[in-house]
């Protein structure tokens, strides 16, 4: 399996699939916000940023999958999935154990050199409360689903990283003579 993951990481298809899944999740988030009129909180916005990181990793990996750039994409992927998992855990804990003393910020805090909430407010402007439960599917809230999603991203990323030293098997038409 590790050889297979190594082989997949050396092709564009797997990296584009990674970017496509993260893009699809971003589109679902925007659909929830603009069609279903759910209000994203600050942690939702940060979780979106982590998904954009996963999508960026897929794009970076697809640029030159057979070069060392693949390792840069893996680092971005692991970091984004890990941070997304942390944020989803924090968000889940706020929803499951609401407290007047433990709340999220009113507005996202982006660096001054990257004010995403000013550049693209339709995507990055927070307007909801982190403790408010707005959506549920199969008895799980949205942050709980994001826990599962980011954990899956992180698990696959770590398996791909572990599989890097395993060289893909060479397949000869006539076998070894």
Catalytic residue among 41, 49, 70, 83: 41
Catalytic residue among 49, 70, 83, 104: 104
Task: State the first-to-last Cα distance of the chain, in angstroms, to the nearest integer.
Answer: 27
Alpha helix (H) residue ranges in 97-141 = 116-119, 121-124
Classified as helix, coil or strand, 140 is: strand
Q: Which residues pair with 141 in a beta bridge?
A: 136
Catalytic residue among 48, 49, 70, 83: 48
CA–CA separation, 151 vs 143, rounded Å? 12
Question: Is there a catalytic annotation at residue 8?
Answer: no
The total of other beta-carbon atoms located within 10 Å of residue 74's CB is 19
Catalytic residue among 44, 49, 70, 83: 44
Catalytic residue among 49, 70, 83, 130: 130
Q: Which of 29, 51, 46, 124 is nearest to 90 (CA)?
A: 46
CA–CA separation, 49 vs 124, rounded Å? 9
Q: What angle do CA 125, 150, 6 make, to 5 degrees?
A: 130
Question: Is there a catalytic annotation at residue 170?
Answer: no
Question: Is there a catalytic annotation at residue 49?
Answer: no
Give the catalytic positions in this structure: 41, 44, 48, 104, 130
């Amino acid at each position: 399996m590790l050889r297979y993951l190594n082989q997949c990481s050396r092709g564009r298809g797997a990296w584009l699939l990674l970017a496509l899944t993260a893009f699809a999740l971003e589109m679902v988030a925007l659909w929830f916000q603009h069609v279903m009129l759910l209000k994203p909180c600050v942690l939702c916005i940060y979780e979106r940023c982590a998904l954009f990181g996963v999508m960026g990793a897929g794009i970076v990996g697809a640029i030159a999958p057979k070069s060392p750039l693949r390792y840069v994409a893996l680092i971005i992927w692991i970091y984004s999935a890990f941070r997304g998992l942390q944020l989803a855990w924090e968000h889940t804990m706020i929803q499951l154990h609401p407290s007047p003393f433990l709340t999220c910020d009113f507005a996202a805090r982006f660096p001054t050199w990257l004010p995403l909430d000013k550049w693209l407010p339709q995507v990055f402007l927070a307007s909801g409360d982190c403790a408010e439960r707005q959506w549920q599917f199969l008895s799980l809230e949205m942050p709980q689903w994001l826990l599962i999603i980011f954990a899956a991203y992180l698990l696959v990323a770590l398996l791909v990283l572990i599989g890097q030293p395993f060289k893909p098997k060479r397949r000869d038409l006539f076998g070894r003579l």
